[in-house]
Amino acid sequence: MKLNKYILGLLIAPAFALAGCSDYEDTEIASPQADENAIGANFSAASTPVVMHPDKTSFTLTLNRVNTKGVVSVPVTVASCDEVSTGVKFCDQPTAFSFADGEATAKITLNVNAACLFQKTYKMALTIGEKKDHLYAQGTTSTIVSFTKDYTWQTLGQPVILEDGNGWVGLGAGILAPVEWASDYKNDNGNMLFRIKALYAYAGKGSDATTGHLQFFLDENYAPVTERFSTNGYDPANINTGIQQNKPTDPEEEQEEADKIYYKLDFTGVTGGTYTEETEDGETIEVLTTPYEFSYRVFYTPEVTVTSVKATLDFDILNATEAIKAKLK
């Protein structure tokens, strides 16, 4: 018995010794204390994309805060803002966000100038100070608002578009570009709005922001109609893709021969898109029998025009759209 007590004592003694000189206690650092008056105002991200339906006239911005005590007004500075005309900004200029007691977020509504063009991006830079005033504030103290007046586009797929010999990418070459459906668009004639997004941007000739979409209507049976889509600031005959490149130069050529080339699409229409019913595993489905075919001209300079280009899209728009509709219900 005495031996057992002796052994137990040997085991307990080191344990107390270790507890007395804990490494944790020697290296522990107290958490920093935030100023109790710090607001911690912040935007969620450095970039704030805003898409406003064309039928609406205003959009909302949000500011956050960490310290939710009291009624607080946080000033905001507009560092820059795009204009729709000389001296006319594209939207109202915010001056402050007002928080009620206990609120962690504050919202402001900004009216949009009616002259804003459809599918054109306008930017506004906002800042609430040079640095955060609260150690635990997330987000940033400045943000770039990218505003676009547009519909909500649902991507149906990214099939290959084949141009003929007059096209840009060459005979037999394909362009992998998204086909999209405007899910919140309503047409008085019951037609649906679709587009092939930024055709030449997806051909590697420009950026993702490049405009020049082939926008077209299909009726309730997904057949093309002669009606052309045109709205405020958007006419398919006046789409400028914004793509630029220099002509190949020869050392003996004059410098003006190396001027930049501007590409513009003139969309003239769409045909095809016929479907037939087939039965698969006891289910009747619509099968595409005639591919969609698009016609457009490409302007390389204001004076030079490529004759009508035809591009084939062998893609099942009908069933792809119906699948999206089912998910949105």
HSE (side-chain half, CA atoms, 13 Å) at 307: 3
pTM of the predicted model as reported, rounded to 2 decimal places: 0.77
pLDDT for the residue 80: 97
| Mean per-residue pLDDT, 167-195 | 87
Instruction: Convert the pLDDT of each residue in 246-304 to its tens digit.
Output: 444 555 555 444 444 556 677 888 999 999 999 878 788 899 999 999 998 877 665 66
| 14 φ, ψ (degrees, to nearest 5) | -60, -35
CA distances from 89 to 24, 94, 111 (A): 58, 12, 11
- The type of residue at 323 is A
pLDDT at 202 over 80: yes
pLDDT for the residue 311: 92
- pLDDT band at residue 89 under the 50/70/90 scheme: very high
Give a three-class secondary structure readout of 67-133.
CCCCCEEEECEEEEECEEECCEECECCCCEEEECCCCCEEEEEEEECCCCCECCEEEEEEECCCCCC
204 versus 183: the higher-pLDDT residue is 183
219 versus 262: the higher-pLDDT residue is 219
254 versus 201: the higher-pLDDT residue is 201
pLDDT for the residue 232: 72
> Using CA atoms, how far apart are residues 60 and 146, in angstroms rounded to an integer?
13
Instruction: Convert the pLDDT of each residue in 14-37 to its tens digit.
Output: 444 444 444 444 444 444 566 777
- pLDDT band at residue 12 under the 50/70/90 scheme: very low
pLDDT for the residue 30: 47
Enumerate the β-bridge partners of residue 143. 126
pLDDT at 223 over 70: yes
pLDDT averaged over every residue in the chain = 81
pLDDT for the residue 191: 93
Instruction: Convert the pLDDT of each residue in 38-67 to its tens digit.
Output: 889 999 999 999 999 999 999 999 999 999
Neighbours of 230 (CB within 10 A): 13
pLDDT at 139 over 80: yes
pLDDT for the residue 257: 44
pLDDT for the residue 165: 82
Q: How many residues does the chain have?
A: 329
pLDDT for the residue 250: 53
pLDDT for the residue 212: 72
Instruction: Convert the pLDDT of each residue in 205-214 to its tens digit.
Output: 665 555 678 8
> Using CA atoms, how far apart are residues 83 and 118, in angstroms rounded to an integer?
14
